[in-house]
């Protein structure tokens, strides 16, 4: 259903049962040895073809994504472009060195490290980036000789279906890529417990991620890669450029309707700039235009589902109960769809649920601190550790933050949300487990190093 117009059906799909998921795993198992032996040139051509096809259909796919997920059309175009570029990037990664040669400590011995595919990979993806996240998992998996079974989120099956059509039309042998749509408790559980799966790459909530890890260890000790939640801090120091700070907070907290694991949900502001920052950000937040994602005038789209909207509004109630003050938004916008006014709280404390639990919506809270030392302490006082940012004109403060912030991604004078496909993505603590995603670092999950010794 279209979250901007809930009466509008975007697409229909068939839900798989466990037998269907099992058949997909078996197909991937049969196809994997031959796919791994395919010449690099063939794999490269197929991946490049997938990426080029996606890029050639940017507008069509972006409109579909915007209608299904609620993302602004401009943001949807960016996501489609990212997905296409990701496939093309991994096509060309295949021309990079794939092994290592070492000097042996023994006379007459040659030592090298080769890489072999992990095998059959189960890919479980969320609804907030229905093309980009599957792309940055599927592309390296295929590039390094694995076969794939994709289980997308049920809210974004139309996007997953179009991506699958593009992939399978690019010349892949049967069974190399498989799409199985359905409920997590059915399809997802089959992937987690199947002895035919060698690894699981998962992006989603931390609670579900913990379950994924337990099932993988229990059922065959599968390799697993977990990208989970975030409660990301943006620190604003007294010396910050106020306009830059407001721009970073507005973008990081509310764009994509706050439905990003890298969103700035905790704004940690030093006392000297605090009051001016609160006033300026509240004004900017109140001026944001919430509306249909296909309308060029809209700056925020709808919340993805009625359940997510209800959860967001419940956190607004919780924040008020805890003693924080709403200085902008906090309501369901009275339109036809699942629209919510972006919500900014002031007077929050870092021990509030508002500041500790991932909301995954357009809700941010401001926490006042006295000095940079306290700002770093508060920023690091979280179970998560995905992304962190600081706004400052001090080089030393910026360098200290890059050194001391406990996060996998650190931004200076930039929003906390925003990554590049050739650089590693991932966090610490409850935000991540396993090797990083994206760039050359993806090889660490999708391939296995084999140390080889040869005597002469």
Containing H/E element for 216? helix 206-218
131 contact partners, CB below 8 Å, separation of at least 6? 54, 61, 65, 79, 80, 82, 83, 159, 163
Q: Per residue of the chain (456 residues), what is the pLDDT tens digit?
A: 999 999 999 999 999 999 999 999 999 999 999 999 999 999 999 999 999 999 999 999 999 999 999 999 999 999 999 999 999 999 999 999 888 999 999 999 999 999 999 999 999 999 999 999 999 999 999 999 999 999 999 999 999 999 999 999 999 999 999 999 999 999 999 999 999 999 999 999 999 999 999 999 999 999 999 999 999 999 999 999 999 999 999 999 999 999 999 999 999 999 999 999 999 999 999 999 999 999 999 999 999 999 999 999 999 999 999 999 999 999 997 778 999 999 999 999 999 999 999 999 999 999 999 999 999 999 999 999 999 999 999 999 999 999 999 999 999 999 999 899 999 999 999 999 999 999 999 999 999 999 999 998
pTM: 0.96
Beta carbons of 399 and 372 less than 8 angstroms apart: no
Distance between CA 327 and CA 408 in Å, rounded? 31
Q: Which of 260, 269, 271 is nearest to 231 (CA)?
A: 260
141 contact partners, CB below 8 Å, separation of at least 6? 118, 121, 123, 147, 148, 201, 446
Beta carbons of 380 and 406 less than 8 angstroms apart: yes
Can you spell out the DSSP letters for 297-365? T-SB---S-HHHHHHHHHHHHHHHHHT-EEEE--SB-SSSS--B--EEEEEE-TTSHHHHS---SSEEE
What amino acid positions are annotated as catalytic residues? Answer: 227
């Amino acid at each position: 259903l279209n979250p901007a117009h809930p009466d509008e059906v975007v697409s229909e799909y068939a839900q798989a049962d466990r037998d269907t998921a099992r058949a997909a795993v078996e197909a991937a198992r049969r196809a994997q040895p031959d796919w791994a032996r395919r010449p690099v040139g063939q794999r490269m051509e197929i991946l490049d073809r997938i990426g080029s096809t996606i890029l050639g259909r940017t507008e069509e796919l972006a409109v579909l994504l915007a209608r299904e997920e609620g993302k602004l059309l401009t943001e949807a175009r960016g996501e489609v472009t990212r997905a296409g570029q990701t496939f093309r990037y991994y096509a060309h990664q295949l021309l990079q060195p794939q092994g290592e040669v070492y000097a042996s400590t023994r006379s007459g011995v040659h030592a090298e490290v080769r890489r072999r595919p992990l095998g059959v990979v189960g890919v479980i993806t969320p609804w907030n980036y229905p093309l980009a996240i599957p792309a940055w998992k599927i592309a390296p998996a295929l590039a390094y000789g694995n076969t794939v079974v994709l289980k997308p989120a049920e809210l974004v099956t139309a996007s997953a279906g179009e991506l699958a059509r593009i992939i399978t039309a690019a010349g892949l042998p049967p069974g190399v890529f498989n799409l199985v749509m359905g409920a997590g408790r059915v399809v997802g559980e089959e992937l987690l417990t199947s002895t035919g799966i060698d690894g699981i790459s998962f992006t989603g909530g931390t609670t579900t991620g913990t379950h994924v890890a337990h099932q993988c260890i229990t059922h065959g000790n599968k390799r697993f890669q977990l990208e989970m939640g975030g409660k990301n801090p943006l620190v604003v120091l007294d010396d910050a450029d106020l306009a830059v700070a407001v721009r970073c907070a507005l973008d990081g907290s509310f764009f994509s309707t706050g439905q990003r694991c890298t969103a700035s949900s905790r704004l940690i502001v030093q006392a000297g700039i605090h009051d001016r920052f609160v006033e300026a950000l509240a004004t900017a937040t109140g001026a944001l235009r919430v509306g249909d994602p296909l309308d060029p005038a809209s700056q925020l789209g709808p919340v993805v589902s009625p359940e997510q909207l209800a959860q967001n509004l419940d956190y607004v109630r919780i924040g008020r109960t805890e003693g924080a003050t709403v200085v902008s938004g906090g309501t369901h916008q009275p339109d036809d769809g699942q629209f919510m006014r972006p919500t900014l709280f002031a007077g929050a404390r870092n021990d509030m649920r508002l500041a500790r639990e991932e909301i995954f919506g357009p809700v941010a809270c401001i926490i006042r601190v006295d000095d940079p030392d306290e700002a770093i302490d508060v920023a690091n006082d979280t179970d998560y550790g995905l992304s962190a940012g600081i706004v400052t004109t001090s080089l030393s403060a910026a360098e200290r933050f890059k050194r001391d912030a406990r996060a996998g991604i650190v931004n200076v004078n930039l929003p906390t949300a925003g990554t590049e496909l050739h650089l590693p993505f991932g966090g610490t603590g409850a935000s991540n487990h396993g090797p990083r995603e994206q760039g050359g670092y993806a090889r660490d999950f999708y391939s296995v190093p084999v140390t080889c010794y040869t005597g002469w």
